[in-house]
Chain A
Amino acid sequence: MSRGNHLLFWTMMSVIGAVIAIYVLFPIFWLMLAGFKSADELARLPVSFWPSEPTLQAYTDLFAPGTQSAQLLDWPRLISNSFIVAVSSTVIVVFFGAIAGYAFSRLSFPGRDLILGGLLVSRMFQGAALLLPTFRLMNALGLEDSLLGLIILYSAFGLPFATWIIASGLREIPVELEEAAMIDGASRLQSMVIVVLPLATPALITAAMWHFVGAWSEFAFASILIESSRNTTVTIGLASFVDYFTLEFNRVGAAATIIALPVLVVFFFGQRYFTRGLLQGAVKG
């Protein structure tokens, strides 16, 4: 390629790249920006691009007692509720997913592939159609309106996919390593814990990240199961702004930023695990 051609190519790639980047980033950037504007500024037309006087008022409104929104919802509590649910269900999912993933990738038993396929297909049915029966089931189990109920439900919903990711990860680890350990006298449990698990860490991290993000973001089932404000999660909290505020998008922006933050942190630090899990697992639904 000639020098001029090369420059043209480089410019074209940059321009297209910039357009895609703006398309992808602008919506969330714009909402976050609103969180730093004052309510007065948002009510003025036309809406300014940068905040004219950047303020943290929306954030203090959310956290300080005595303001309108703080009376409605206790945001520190919502955040801790969501963390409890997301972290606990992640631990459960990774623990049982690792055990099942080991069986699916290392042991042979009748119906193995059929069951694994069935698990994956079951994931595709988790949706609005199951809201009503799930509500009935959770009430029958006495698990309505409780964080424990959400932990159990999210764990059940997340287990099939976590099992799948971990089983795929384990298949890439050579069986010879364990066989060698077992010939040296290690039991199956010992070889699993000492030899296999450390090598499977990337798959475990991938499964954990996917589950954490999903559980932290879940809205539909939480919104039908949780009734009392002390058990409310962040997604229900943000959705409730629809009822209370029309133009106060600064508070919406602040709350959305707080909710997006843990997900963004996981995303940026775990980029390579994320893409890995997605290309090997998400294609399967």
Chain B
Amino acid sequence: MSPRSDRTLAYWMILPVVAAVLTFIVGPTYDVFTMGFTRFRMGMPLEFGSLANFRALFADPVFWTVMRNTAIWILGGTIGCVLLGLLIATYLAVDSRQTMVLRALILLPWILPDVVTAMAWRWMLHGQVGIIGQTATSIGLSERPISFLGDPDLVMWSLVVVVVWRKMPLVALILCAAIRSVPQEHLEAARIDGANAWQRFRFVILPHIAFSLTAVTVISMIWITAEFALPWIMTGGGPANSSHIMATYIYQQSFQFFNWGVGAAMSVVNLVVLVAIVTLYLYIMRRSWRSEADR
């Protein structure tokens, strides 16, 4: 078969995927940018080329709460995932029967539907009948039942705890694979040179997994930025808007208040944040992309 007809065949074969992405991702991304600069009233476009939506967005006092909360959400969640993931990965990387079982089990939070996870944690964090608050009271940690999701000062941190639970397993497994790829001879050599467990971790394992660690940190940021169902079902942005993040704010403005202009403006802000993180990701992964292309 001639290379030329091969080429035509290839384009036909990838056409469905490319068309799907153009129609349902690239097109809508372009559309939401246009919408952000179009004035709307009750879902009816009025004029293009206006900054009215952004002015309205920045004038909303909730906007600044949203930005602060989103920072807590993304940074807190990412740091939590990576630190806890690294800790658990170090344990999982040990060869033993216990870790073999756990390596399979640990993915459970990752595959459960978000809606189920949100309900499970709502139930555990419930102000009156939640088992976590109840346990805290009974062992004397707190005088009154704690309303984790009802207290504006606690709610964002409670959400971060849940998203760490939800996203940490994959971080742990990826890092576990990285740690297990450290050559045994290197660890043995360090041991013979008198390095203790911490020194072996710090000077042998950590440099070896540095790339995976960086990559997984940025990927966690992307995952957590994309997360919507978890915070929406757990708090709906409440109490009194104290737990709104970009995703929940977009949803509420667009589909509960029908404030399409403000919803679109926030979507644009969200996309800009995403582009920044994805650019960082592509920059970090440039080495691995190139080796992929060489294969």
Q: Which residues of A contact B (CB under 8 A)?
A: 10, 13-14, 16-17, 20-21, 23-25, 27-28, 30-31, 34, 42-43, 45-47, 96-97, 99-100, 102-104, 107-110, 112-113, 115, 117-119, 121-122, 124-137, 153, 155-157, 159-160, 163, 171, 188, 213, 216-217, 219-220, 224, 235, 238-239, 241-242, 247, 249, 252-253, 256, 259-260, 263, 266-267, 271, 274-275, 278-279, 282-285
Q: Can you identify 28 A-B contacts, CB atoms within 8 angstroms?
A: A28-B108, A31-B119, A42-B129, A99-B13, A104-B14, A107-B10, A109-B7, A115-B18, A118-B21, A121-B282, A122-B26, A124-B226, A127-B226, A127-B228, A127-B247, A129-B32, A130-B28, A132-B264, A137-B23, A137-B24, A157-B24, A249-B126, A249-B129, A252-B123, A260-B116, A267-B107, A278-B170, A283-B174
The docked-state distance in angstroms from the alpha carbon of A285 to that of B99 is 26
From residue B262, how far is it (CB to closest CB) to chain A in Å? 10
Q: Are B271 and A279 closer than 8 Å at their CB atoms? A: no
Evaluate whether A46 and B228 lie within 8 angstroms (CB atoms) in the complex, with A132-B260, A188-B1 already known: no
Known contacts A132-B254, A279-B173; is-contact A259 B115 (Cβ 8 Å): yes
Q: Do A31 and B120 touch across chains, with their CB atoms under 8 A apart?
A: yes
Instruction: Decide yes or no whether B243 CB sits under 8 A from chain A.
Output: no
Is B114 an interface residue when CB atoms closer than 8 A count as contact?
yes
Please report whether the interface of chain A is mostly helix, strand, loop or mixed according to DSSP. helix
Q: How far is the CA of A142 from the CA of B100 in the complex (A)?
A: 50
Q: Give the docked Cα–Cα distance between A275 and B105 (Å).
A: 11
- The A-contacting residues of B in range 211-251, CB under 8 angstroms, are 215-216, 219, 222, 225-226, 228-229, 232-233, 236, 246-248, 250-251
Residues from chain A with Cβ under 8 Å of B96 in the complex: 10, 13
* B15 to chain A: closest residue by CB: A100
Determine the chain A residues whose CB is within 8 A of the CB of B17 once the complex forms. Answer: 96-97, 100, 119, 159-160, 163
Q: Is the CB of B219 within 8 A of A283?
A: yes
Q: Are B134 and A47 in contact (CB under 8 A)?
A: yes
Give residues 76-116 of B contacting A (CB, 8 Å).
88, 91, 94, 96, 98-99, 101-109, 111-116
Q: In the complex, what distance in Å separates the CA atom of A107 from the CA atom of B17?
A: 16
Pairs of residues from A and B, 6 with the lowest C-beta to C-beta distance, nearest first: A217-B113, A128-B247, A133-B28, A103-B13, A156-B20, A156-B24
Q: How far is the CB of B194 from chain A (nearest CB, A)?
A: 18
- Interface code B116-148, partner A: CB below 8 Å = 1, 0 otherwise? 111111011010110100100010000000000
Q: How large is the interface on B (under 10, 10 to 19, 20 to 34, 35 or more residues)?
A: 35 or more
Q: Does B182 contact A (CB under 8 A)?
A: no
| Cross-chain contact of B98 among A14, A103, A137 (Cβ < 8 A) | A14
B6 at the interface (CB under 8 A from A): yes
How far does the Cβ of A227 sit from chain B's closest Cβ, in whole Å?
A: 11
Question: Chain A residues near B101 (CB, 8 Å)?
Answer: 17
Give the contact stretch, choosing among B54-62, B151-159, B202-210, B287-295.
Answer: B287-295
Known: A263-B112, A267-B108. A285 touches B123 (CB 8 A): no
In Å, the complex CA distance between A34 and B293 comes to: 51
Known: A124-B274, A159-B17. 17 other contacts (CB 8 A): A31-B119, A47-B129, A97-B17, A100-B16, A103-B9, A108-B10, A124-B222, A124-B226, A125-B274, A128-B226, A129-B250, A137-B23, A137-B28, A153-B24, A235-B115, A266-B111, A279-B173
B291 CB to closest chain A CB (Å) equals: 11
Q: Is the CB of B226 within 8 A of A126?
A: yes
Question: Could you give, for residues 38-74 of chain B, a 1 whenever the CB lies within 8 Å of some chain A CB and a 0 otherwise?
Answer: 0000000000000000000000000000000000000
Q: A100-B17, A104-B14, A252-B119 are in contact. Are A134 and B24 (CB under 8 A)?
A: yes
Chain A's nearest CB lies how many Å from the CB of B9? 7
